Structure 1
Amino acid sequence: MLGNLGRIGPARLFVHFAVLLIVIIWLIPTLGIFVTALRDKDQIVVSGWWTSFSGSSRTIAVRLAGSDKATQDGANYIIKGNVFDGSNNNGSGRVRSFGLRVQEPAAYQAGSQADLGDGESLTINSDGTYLLQRNGAFAADERARRVYLTVATPPEFTRDNYRTVLTGEGIGQSFINSLTVAIPATIIPILIAAFAAYALAWMDFRGRALLIALVVGLIVVPLQMSLIPLLRIYNDIGQVFGVPSKTYPGIWMAHTAFGLPLAIYLLRNYIAGLPKEIIESARVDGASDFDIFVKIILPLSFPALASFAIFQFLWVWNDLLIAMVFLGTDKDHLVLTAALNALLGSRGGNWEILTASAFVTILIPLLVFFGLQRYLVRGLLAGSVKGG
């Protein structure tokens, strides 16, 4: 293996390390979202996700038992209890240190005795038990003493965050809505673009070069520029035929219109780069253009189809603007991005809910990308130099 590394040039080795670094940088926030979504909400507030496997520490304030709990022990009066019991139940854990002032919560180590003056002492053990001792009686109206603790809590993971998101926050229905939008909006433009790409690559007809130039020009048209005209046409057609304005077919057609230029461009470049001998041999054997397209072009073009499917699916899945314009914001049609945006406004402080929602959002795109990524580079680069 060392010999193989020695034969790799410095430039190629640099590229390998750069790609590895990019992958690590990309994976770190994804891992952080996944781990945070499984943590207890109290631990999320006090420590970062990278400390989740080693536990966390926090400072809490508790009041010890009052003078009514005092008992006499010889010449002394004592108060016993546990800082994690009753009204002081701020969570389980181990006491690391304690103090009498908020500025010094670690003044005394757990298990050590703190001299409070006037014959009074306090000992708090790591398990939370404490002993407050005085060589005189406690006054009946004496206020319970407040202490500050540094508490170490063990790692705690839970699936309740995901249960809350999928059942109680409406994310589950929005997840289904996004799939209902994304799957047809990915398949429809691929089917249309594949036919158009074959025609532009292998069929001779007048105006073909002009159509190719038009397709390339449409790629750079901003979505926002064409959104309002497309919406007006869609609404006018809906009024003529009595079709509701907020429907799934409407948003399918919108995503198809916005995705077709890039799809035709990518597929045309790929199909034009296929060996023309195969096409000519099929025509000599009497195959029609439709037979050639279905039996030869489509199987050979799978890498290009898969690469565009990745782009189109990710774009549709992460879309917010088109979904809100063509579907609205009612609960029955709310897509995942819109639901997460609403959740961010109403539950912005609940990080356990937001991280679980975010991971649910990126789960499907991750599966699609890793399932088809081996075709991505091959489909994009094939035909980029040679074209018909």
Structure 2
Amino acid sequence: MSSTVSTDAPEAGPVTRPETGSMASRVRRKLATRTASIISIIIALIWTIPTFGLFVSSLRPENDIKTTGWWTFFKHPTMTLDNYNEVVFGTSASSGRLASYFINSLVITVPAVLFSVSLAAMAAYALSQLNFRGRDWIFIGVFALQIVPLQMALIPLLKMLNHYTEWGGGFFAVWFAHTCFGLPLGVFLLHNFMAELPKELFEAARVDGAGPAMTFRRIVIPLITPALASFTIFQFLWIWNDLLIALVFTSGPGSRPLTVRLAELAGTRGNDWQRLTSGAFVSMIIPLIVFLSLQRYFVRGLLAGGVKG
């Protein structure tokens, strides 16, 4: 009597497939819906209304500004450029005379941004790609400097720079202060970005005979352009809108920026709303141009976590 052995494999149960899509993809799908788009548009409109009202008020005559709200402009539209002419080019003591302060803001902001961005990029490259003793401890120290309040460092820094406040036409001290206070954040952001760059790029550069300086110029700088643009925007807006450092390290109309003059107008000429509105909008022009011109790099810098080979 022969026995037959079944060679059939046992019936497999239902195969459970892993859930498709990560958390990021699910969030991205939810944010791409029509409802999310409508909510984003509403938030953008609400956020823009104060700026639009400021712009409309800056173009209205003095009597209209002081008697009615800016929203009544659409019922009786009357526009004038006298407010801008007076606040920018006026020569009387009550006028803004913002033209010279506008130049001072540019002279303060542009070099300070260049110093902080360039030094932060070089320091981040050294701390992320070069091997030397104590590198990690230096990075930890730079990271820890971010928690030091700005106000605590002002008096020691002012005492240290007391004899150098007249250098560079009175701008050296404020350049130095802005660079010092901007470096910790810049080094931290750029270090994290550079640390994600493929190691193969640097190995290939060393094989081709490129030194650290050439590798930094030819390889690293082009790859971190979005991160540099993001930090440049942050640093530019912070320096341009700064009031505290400008009050501490500058003196006199020859070196003080727009923010100081606008604070003086708000304090001494608080009833001249037509000057305040036009002066405030003048101070917003350059930051808006910088942000809009670097916006695509800014978005890429925020979304990119590195370079994938």
Matching residue's letter, 1:374: R
Following superposition, the deviation at residue 20 of structure 1 comes to 2.3
Following superposition, the deviation at residue 376 of structure 1 comes to 1.8
Q: Which residue of 2 aligns with 1:306?
A: 229
Distance 1:45 1:381, change over 3 A: same
Higher-strand-fraction structure: 1
Q: Which residue of 2 aligns with 1:167?
A: 89
Gaps of 5+ in 1: 1-7, 56-154
Q: Which residue of 1 aligns with 2:164?
A: 238
CA contact (8 A) 1:44 1:352 kept: yes
Give the whole-Å Cα distance in 2 for the aligned partners of 1:171 and 1:352.
14
Following superposition, the deviation at residue 36 of structure 1 comes to 0.6
Distance 1:249 1:198, change over 3 A: same
Following superposition, the deviation at residue 35 of structure 1 comes to 0.8
Alignment of 1:206-285 (within 5 A): 206-235=133-162, 238=164, 247-285=170-208
Following superposition, the deviation at residue 381 of structure 1 comes to 4.1
Following superposition, the deviation at residue 22 of structure 1 comes to 2.9
Moved more, 184-193 or 370-379: 370-379
CA contact (8 A) 1:340 1:357 kept: yes
CA contact (8 A) 1:248 1:327 kept: yes
| Per-residue Cα deviation, 1:89-148 (whole angstroms, up to 9, x for no partner) | xxxxxxxxxxxxxxxxxxxxxxxxxxxxxxxxxxxxxxxxxxxxxxxxxxxxxxxxxxxx
Secondary structure of 1:52's counterpart equals helix
Distance 1:245 1:363, change over 3 A: closer
Query: Which structure is higher in RCO with an 8 Å CA cutoff and minimum separation 6?
Result: 2
| Per-residue Cα deviation, 1:251-299 (whole angstroms, up to 9, x for no partner) | 1011000000001011111111122211111111110010000011111
Alignment of 1:1-388 (within 5 A): 9-13=29-33, 14-55=35-76, 155-168=77-90, 169-235=96-162, 238=164, 247-328=170-251, 330-383=252-305
Give the whole-Å Cα distance in 1 for the aligned partners of 2:247 and 2:209.
50
CA contact (8 A) 1:272 1:383 kept: no
Give the whole-Å Cα distance in 2 for the aligned partners of 1:371 and 1:244.
32
Distance 1:380 1:211, change over 3 A: farther
Distance 1:167 1:11, change over 3 A: closer
Following superposition, the deviation at residue 211 of structure 1 comes to 1.2
Give the whole-Å Cα distance in 2 for the aligned partners of 1:215 and 1:21.
40
**What is the Cα-based RMSD across aligned positions, in Å?**
2.1
CA contact (8 A) 1:246 1:326 kept: no
Give the whole-Å Cα distance in 2 for the aligned partners of 1:196 and 1:9.
39
CA contact (8 A) 1:327 1:334 kept: yes
Matching residue's letter, 1:296: I
CA contact (8 A) 1:215 1:265 kept: yes
Distance 1:11 1:317, change over 3 A: closer
Give the whole-Å Cα distance in 1 for the aligned partners of 2:230 and 2:30.
30
Give the whole-Å Cα distance in 1 for the aligned partners of 2:294 and 2:140.
29
Secondary structure of 1:349's counterpart equals coil
TM-score, structure 1 as length reference: 0.67
Secondary structure of 2:74's counterpart equals coil
| Greater C-alpha Rg | 1
Moved over 2 A (4+): 8-22, 243-246, 380-386
| Per-residue Cα deviation, 1:280-320 (whole angstroms, up to 9, x for no partner) | 11111110010000011111111111100101010000111
Following superposition, the deviation at residue 377 of structure 1 comes to 3.3
CA contact (8 A) 2:164 2:173 kept: no
Secondary structure of 1:287's counterpart equals coil
Give the whole-Å Cα distance in 2 for the aligned partners of 1:284 and 1:39.
66
Secondary structure of 1:215's counterpart equals helix
Give the whole-Å Cα distance in 2 for the aligned partners of 1:370 and 1:249.
29
Give the whole-Å Cα distance in 2 for the aligned partners of 1:305 and 1:380.
11
Secondary structure of 2:294's counterpart equals helix
Give the whole-Å Cα distance in 1 for the aligned partners of 2:147 and 2:307.
21
Distance 1:15 1:268, change over 3 A: farther
Distance 1:251 1:9, change over 3 A: closer
CA contact (8 A) 2:86 2:97 kept: no
CA contact (8 A) 2:174 2:250 kept: yes
Matching residue's letter, 1:295: R
CA contact (8 A) 1:266 1:380 kept: no
Gaps of 5+ in 2: 1-27, 91-95
